Each structure stands twice: as structure tokens, then as C-alpha cells.
Amino acid sequence: MRGIDIDLVERFTGQRRLHSVNAAIAELRPATGAYRRVRSNYRRLGIRLIWSEVRKRWANARARFAALPKWFSVPAWSAALACCSVIAVASSLGAIFLANPSLLIVMACSLAPFLGLAIVPILFPRDLSGLKHAAARASQRVDSLRRDRAVTRPVLQDCFRRYSEAKRIYRGILRAKDFPLNRLLHTDFRNMSGPEFESFLAEVFVFLGYFVRRTGRSGDQGVDLVVGRNGVLVAVQAKCYVHPVSNEAVQEAYTGMTIYRCHRCAVVTSSTFTDGAREAARGVGCKLIDGSEICQLIRGAITL
């Protein structure tokens, strides 16, 4: 797996502690699991709190109804039930003899108080002390759940902060890994062939903002690339060698600079330069970049 430059990691994540995808995943997984568990628990507490609040209000309503005077619950129904009985009998007879279906609706409505008389004692029993005790228990349950949610809320916020930070670092490391600078820095240019090394340098110069033109393999007059930026053209000779590069490459680059009408010349190699090459470069003003300086070139620390 390609490595990730630590400076790029700091650039995209703002930290240097985690600098690999595996390390970021190892920190993101437990943070995600903890956040999901606490969030699920917080949501369950919310649902239980809503249900307990409904039960509390229901218990209070039953207790208030049970506290009403005795005459309100049963004797008061006597006159209403008598009237409803008469209406129900009359409407049923009218529906039968007069063949009027609408009277059935009147009959059904007149029977509603009877149904209410049967249901009300079940829904609203007269055990006032028991209902008050149930209402108090429901109120205590609501208060307990509210305290639990209040305790869980800062834990949830802390877990969310940890999860967000781990996710941000993970995404930043992925961006740093896929960033062109990181790919160029971790390219094994020392084991490339000549054309591959030329293509690699062309990609480097394009990344640095240079205009790049390749001269071709045959008849290149000692110049592999012509790069330009800010109106300055540079003739570049690429040498992917294992042994040190001699002054012949410097002479070729200098000659090619004149032929291609460039302002400067440079020789870039994956190995090193001989003392003769360095002396010749100083004499003609040719820029030399060896294998140990290519990473600095990619970072933009070396200009042509």
C-alpha cells in the first residue's frame, strides 16, 4: 500500500498523530460504535419518556375524575338514560313500521349513554387513593426518565464529537492519500525506464504549474522536455541512470537550450552527478537535480 506523506496528512487533517488509513479506521470504528450505542439509548429514553408522559396525564385525568362529587358519576345519568331509552324505543319502532333507515342512526345515538355508563366505571374507577398513587408513580417515572436523558445528553455530545473528529481525520487521510503530490512523492522513479522517467518528470512539472512539451525520442538534441512558466522556458534533460551522470549530459542540455531557444537548461537524474558534471554546470549555468533532490522538486522547494 502506498504510504502517505506526513506533511500532507497535517495539511488535510490538522494533526500528525494518525498518518495512515488503517490507524484512522482503528480509531473511527470504536468511536462510531460508541456514538451509535449512546444515540440509540438516548432515543429509547425519549420514546419511553413520551409514553410515560402520556400515562402520567392519563393517570392524573382519572384521579381528577374520581375526585368529582358522587352525584356526578351515577345519579346524574338517571334522567339522561330515561330519555335515551324512550328515544331508542321510539326510533326503533319508527324504523320498523315507517321503513325509515335514518331512525336507526337516532337509535344508535340514543344508546350511546348506556355504553358510556358501562365504560366510564372501567376507565374512571372511584378508587381515589389508588389513582392518586398511580399518578404519583407515573410522575416519578417521568422525572426519572428526564434525569436519565439529562445525564445521557452530554455523553451523547461527547461521543458525537469524538465520532465527528475521527471521521474528519479519516476523510482527510483519504484525501491526502489520493492527492497528486502524495502519489508523486511515493513513486519509485529509481526503477523506471528512460521513457517512464521522462513521463514522470512531465507529470511533476505539470503539477508544479509548468507548461510541458516533450521533444520526442529521436533527434531531441539532448533535450527531453521543454517546460515553461511565467514566460521562462527551460530545456530539461532527463537521465534515469544507475551510475553517476557525466558532464556530457550538461553539454547536451546546454546545446539543446540554444536550439530550442530556451532561457535556461537543467539536467534531472535518478542517480547522482560526477564532479566534472557539477563543474561544467557551474560554468554554463545549468541546473542539476539528482535523485535525492527530486522530492524537494516535487514539493516546489527547488525551482528551475
Domain ranges across the chain: 1-179, 187-299
Asked whether the predicted pLDDT for residue 294 surpasses 50, the reply is: yes
Higher pLDDT, 190 or 218: 190
Q: Which residues contact 13 (CB under 8 A, 6 or more apart)?
A: 168, 169, 172, 173, 176
Asked whether the predicted pLDDT for residue 245 surpasses 50, the reply is: yes
Q: What is the mean pLDDT of the chain?
A: 83
Instruction: Indicate the pLDDT class of residue 162, thresholds 50, 70 and 90.
Output: very high
Gap between the Cα atoms of 271 and 296, Å rounded: 15
pLDDT at 107: 57
Task: Give CATH for domain 187-299.
Answer: 3.40.1350.10
pLDDT at 114: 55
Within 10 Å of residue 47's Cβ, how many Cβ atoms?
Answer: 10
Asked whether the predicted pLDDT for residue 51 surpasses 90, the reply is: yes
Q: Is residue 226 within 8 Å of residue 233, measured between CB atoms?
A: yes
Gap between the Cα atoms of 292 and 161, Å rounded: 42
Asked whether the predicted pLDDT for residue 296 surpasses 80, the reply is: yes
User: What predicted TM-score, i.e. pTM, was given to this entire model?
Assistant: 0.63
SS (H, E, C) 225-250: EEEEECCEEEEEEEECCCCCECHHHH
pLDDT at 9: 87
Higher pLDDT, 16 or 85: 16
Q: Which H or E run includes 261?
A: none
- The C-alpha angle with vertex 173 and arms to 27 and 209, in degrees rounded to 5, equals 175
pLDDT at 120: 54
DSSP state of 179: S
pLDDT at 4: 84
Higher pLDDT, 298 or 69: 298
pLDDT at 71: 46
In single-letter form, the type of residue at position 76 comes to A
What is the separation of C-alpha 228 from the centre of its chain, rounded to a whole number of angstroms?
40
Q: Which residues contact 53 (CB under 8 A, 6 or more apart)?
A: 142
pLDDT at 91: 64
Q: How many CA atoms lie within 13 A of 5 on its CB side?
A: 20
pLDDT tens, 63-97? 777 676 554 455 555 555 566 666 666 666 666 66
Query: Stretch 273-289: mean pLDDT, rounded?
Result: 94
pLDDT tens, 131-141? 788 888 889 99
Asked whether the predicted pLDDT for residue 110 surpasses 80, the reply is: no
Gap between the Cα atoms of 97 and 135, Å rounded: 52
Instruction: Indicate the pLDDT class of residue 156, thresholds 50, 70 and 90.
Output: very high
pLDDT at 112: 57
Q: Which residues contact 192 (CB under 8 A, 6 or more apart)?
A: 200, 240, 270
pLDDT at 38: 95
Query: Stretch 150-168: mean pLDDT, rounded?
Result: 94
User: Hey, which residues does 267 pair with through a beta bridge?
Assistant: 237, 288
pLDDT at 55: 87
Task: Please report, rounded to a whole number, the percentage of residues in the chain having pLDDT higher than 70.
Answer: 77
pLDDT tens, 204-239? 999 999 999 998 765 567 799 999 999 999 999 999
pLDDT at 80: 59
Query: Stretch 283-294: mean pLDDT, rounded?
Result: 94
Query: Stretch 249-277: mean pLDDT, rounded?
Result: 93
